[in-house]
Structure formats: C-alpha cells, structure tokens
Amino acid sequence: MRSTAHLYRDRGREQVEDMMEQGMPFGHVEDVIETLRLPSEHKAALWLLAWSMRDPVIALQDARLTIDLVAANGGRR
C-alpha cells in the first residue's frame, strides 16, 4: 500500500500537469501548489515541474528580467 504522501504527491503532479497543459496562469498554479499538504521539498519539485512546462519564450524573458533586477540591486539581499 502506498503512503498518503505518495498519493498527495502523485495527485499534485497530475494536477500541476493538467493545469499547465490547460494554459492556467502560472501564478494560479503556484497558489494551488502552496495549498497542497506536502513537505516543502515536494512543493518545490512541483513548482519546478510547472516552471519547466511554461512557454520557453516567457520563461526566458522572466529569467532575463530576474538577472537584470539582481544586477540593478548590486547582488544585495
């Protein structure tokens, strides 16, 4: 028998994949992931899955904007 954590993780994976394939906004998918009853590392893995399913052009734009923001901030935290 599989543990409850496995069931939540598997359902979370299916749910994330379905939402991304349907074109749901990434922010909405992030919100859903946050509500899942999973350890933070499982949520992080689901977030990475969702991130990897984004439109590559938009993902690249976001990555470049993030680099620009970090550079403008002088790398300060």
What are the structure tokens assigned to 68, written together? 């620009």
Q: Kindly write down the DSSP assignment for every residue of 18-77, as one continuous string.
A: HHHHTT--HHHHHHHHHHSSS-HHHHHHHHHHHHHTS-HHHHHHHHHHHHHHHHHTTT--
**7-12 mean pLDDT:** 72
Length of the chain, in residues: 77
- Between 10 and 36, whose confidence is greater? 36
pLDDT in tens, 36-50: 888 999 999 999 999
Confidence of residue 1 (pLDDT cuts 50, 70, 90): very low
Question: Looking at residues 15-34, what average pLDDT do you find?
Answer: 95
Question: What is the domain partition of the chain in residue ranges?
Answer: 4-72
Q: Please state, in angstroms and as integers, the Cα–Cα distance from residue 73 to each residue in 39, 61, 77, following that order.
A: 32, 18, 8
At residue 59, does pLDDT exceed 50? yes
> For the whole model, what pTM was predicted?
0.72
